[in-house]
Copies of this chain bind each other. A is one copy, B any other.
Amino acid sequence: MLSNHFENGMDMARLAWSRLPHSEDGELDGVGLLSTSSNRNGVESLDYEVIENYAYREEQAQRGKFFVGYNVAVKWFFALLIGIGTGLAAVFINISVENFAGWKFSLTFNIIQKSYLAGFLMYILINLALVFSSVYIITHFAPAAAGSGIPEIKGYLNGIDIPGILLFRTLIGKIFGSIGSVGGGLALGKEGPLVHTGACIASLLGQGGSTKYHLSSRWLQGFKSDRDRRDLVTCGCAAGVAAAFRAPVGGVLFALEEVTSWWRSQLMWRVFFTSAVVAVVVRVAMGWCKSGNCGHFGAGGFIIWDISDGQEDYSFEELLPMAVIGIIGGLLGALFNQLTIYVTRWRRNYLHKKGNRVKIYEACLISVLTSVISFGLPLLRNCSPCPDSDPGSEIECPRAPGADGNYVNFYCGKDKEYNDLATIFFNTQDDAIRNLFSAKTIHEFSAKSLLTFLVMFYTLAVVTFGTAVPAGQFVPGIMIGSTYGRLVGIFTVNHYKKLNIDEGTYALLGAASFLGGSMRMTVSLCVIMVEITNNLKLLPLIMLVLLISKAVGDVFNEGLYDEQARLRGIPLLESRPKYVMRKMTAREACGNQKVLSLPQVVKVADAVSILRSNKHNGFPVVDHTRDGEPLVIGLMLRSHLLVLLQSKIDFQHSPLPSHSRSGSGAIRSTIFSAN
């Protein structure tokens, strides 16, 4: 079937230096030669650089200078498309989530005016329906869209191809799945999935659309090499972060620090452009929504927690509680990573083996649990009287029914009372964080409520991690961090009575510290935190807590994404070899796996039998000097060999210059495009 595509030798040659595109339904598996599906992990390494074999050079020489210009123009056009696409996807997800959640809360608040029990049931049912739709999409349509997707993207950008992560169905599953899971109130965020969404859009553009769904366009299929595709996915990843946090510079840095191991300044420049496009698209959409076209989508949605009117300055006595926040962040973050490892391993080995039905039950159970806790716990909490309102302040207490904001009146006896636990728990996460970060609301939350919330939400976040729904870790991390940050803030305000200290500042630092302790990012996280809070003055403090929390966390384990990538069998190559590797030889590293090599000229039958006999993805091509010493002259990839075999080209008489350079010492060419 594949051989239809190759009518002449040049087409074959072109594929010989490109990669076999991922087919949506794995058509090659039938032949039984593709090792990837039978492999435990199904991963394959990508080429870091363009394979400069004869076919490539010949094609390049034919193209000439005009083609170079065309190629550059297409790359920039793609960067523009990625920016627009990711921006629109982010807007769509945000508007949907905000509308579902807003409708849910306003309905529940209306019902509890009459009956708390009916409201409780309605709340549970709506959440359950949303989560069920999400988990159903994931299990039956797009299994690769579960989780945050960042470990997989990180793997891809570090040279590991995992089947299925960048397909069209994954994109669709990710978008609609995260609307359901986030709208359904689970303890997870939509930021990680947006990064994955951006990467999918980029990859699909790079392939010229989805072939399975007949959405492909031939003139866009200019990107044949792994490097070009990886560059596009890098742009998509940055666009995802830029869209999720409205942090264009943070997006560039995230792609740079967290995910990409090979980076060139040209790429930075293009990634920067993509992020700028996203910023423009999102701004236009937000401007359009301001005129009331987007329903409940208003102050929430895109996470911008503006605290620019908060604490202006800080004194040196405050550095001690801030360092404490950093240490707590490192400890809790490392604990979070460790617990999620156990949970993920347990899920993989016991629970998820039993099939999709169990995954659906599990997600629904967690949804009910989350609903019960977030509705029930505030009921047990006594309401507090509203503080004397500052005439200059715009903060209402209690907030008007249906509005966003602080001071939620929930199950309170009197009118001028509010329920501090409901303010953070019975709310969308965006609003809860806005309330936790809010300045000039000292003593809004009691230590007891914060501690209750911290313990419950931390547990929920750990338990929710790894269910079969799209799930980001940023927002839950910010929730957890800002809760203990605000706790430390309460103690600081009580202890240093004279200083102009704001609890909201400590909540922000707590959020940064937990993310630092869990994800172990530094520069990008720092810039993201500054961009989403719109406050540059706290930058040195954010740097401080990030440094401390990362250092503390590093004592215990690796970053969340690294740990998760390892659990999923994605081999991330570290930038420096481990200490034990210093004296290792290649022979020892191979262990008892025997390297299979190919001669320079091989019969088809032999090649097929070699391919069938093992699962290696690469075979060294070995020649011999005149006196019999073996010489490695290149590496033949299984995928390239498959293309050659399937296209049934007469190898011996192919148009390639198979012996144009032979006899010049150790470097020889083979017909097998040794690279």
Give the interface of A toward B (CB within 8 A): 57, 60-61, 65, 68, 248-249, 252-253, 256-257, 263-266, 268-269, 272-273, 275-276, 279-280, 283, 522-523, 526-527, 530-531, 534-537, 539-540, 543-544, 547, 550, 575-576, 579, 582-583, 625-627, 629-631, 665-666
Known contacts A272-B522, A523-B252, A575-B264, A57 near B530 by CB under 8 Å: no
Contact present for A272 and B543 (CB under 8 Å):
yes
Known contacts A68-B579, A269-B550, A575-B265, A249 near B540 by CB under 8 Å: no
Inter-chain contacts of A252 with B (CB < 8 A): 523
Contact present for A536 and B530 (CB under 8 Å):
yes
* Interchain CA distance A465-B266 in the complex, whole Å: 28
Inter-chain contacts of A539 with B (CB < 8 A): 248-249, 279, 531
Chain B minimum-CB-distance residue to A550: B269
Contact present for A540 and B279 (CB under 8 Å):
yes
Give which listed residue, B65, B256, B531, B540, contacts A536 with CB less than 8 A: B531
* Interchain CA distance A539-B247 in the complex, whole Å: 10
Further contacts, 8 of them, CB under 8 A, given A65-B579, A536-B536: A249-B523, A252-B523, A269-B522, A276-B540, A276-B543, A534-B537, A627-B627, A629-B666
A-B contact pairs, 5 of them (CB 8 A): A266-B575, A266-B576, A272-B543, A276-B544, A534-B536
Known contacts A534-B536, A543-B248, A544-B276, A523 near B257 by CB under 8 Å: no
Minimal beta-carbon separation of A630 from chain B (angstroms): 7
Give which listed residue, B280, B540, B626, contacts A280 with CB less than 8 A: B540
Contact present for B576 and A540 (CB under 8 Å):
no
Minimal beta-carbon separation of A155 from chain B (angstroms): 15
* Interchain CA distance A275-B543 in the complex, whole Å: 9
* Interchain CA distance A10-B106 in the complex, whole Å: 78
Inter-chain contacts of A269 with B (CB < 8 A): 522, 550
Inter-chain contacts of A666 with B (CB < 8 A): 629, 631, 666
Give which listed residue, B256, B279, B582, contacts A256 with CB less than 8 A: B256
Minimal beta-carbon separation of A490 from chain B (angstroms): 26
* Interchain CA distance A625-B65 in the complex, whole Å: 42
Chain B minimum-CB-distance residue to A522: B272
Known contacts A256-B256, A579-B68, A540 near B248 by CB under 8 Å: yes
Which of A264, A276, A544, A627 is the most central at the interface, judged by chain B CB atoms within 10 Å of its CB?
Answer: A276
Inter-chain contacts of A283 with B (CB < 8 A): 540
Inter-chain contacts of A272 with B (CB < 8 A): 522-523, 526, 543, 547
- Of all A-B residue pairs in the complex, the 4 with the closest CB atoms, nearest first, are A264-B575, A276-B543, A279-B540, A272-B522
* Interchain CA distance A535-B530 in the complex, whole Å: 11
Contact present for A665 and B629 (CB under 8 Å):
yes
Minimal beta-carbon separation of A561 from chain B (angstroms): 12
Inter-chain contacts of A60 with B (CB < 8 A): 582
Inter-chain contacts of A631 with B (CB < 8 A): 666
Which of A65, A68, A249 is the most central at the interface, judged by chain B CB atoms within 10 Å of its CB?
Answer: A249
* Interchain CA distance A269-B272 in the complex, whole Å: 22
Contact present for A627 and B626 (CB under 8 Å):
yes
Minimal beta-carbon separation of A107 from chain B (angstroms): 35
Inter-chain contacts of A530 with B (CB < 8 A): 249, 536
Inter-chain contacts of A625 with B (CB < 8 A): 625, 627, 629
* Interchain CA distance A65-B578 in the complex, whole Å: 11
Inter-chain contacts of A273 with B (CB < 8 A): 547
Inter-chain contacts of A582 with B (CB < 8 A): 57, 60-61
Give which listed residue, B268, B276, B547, B576, contacts A276 with CB less than 8 A: B547
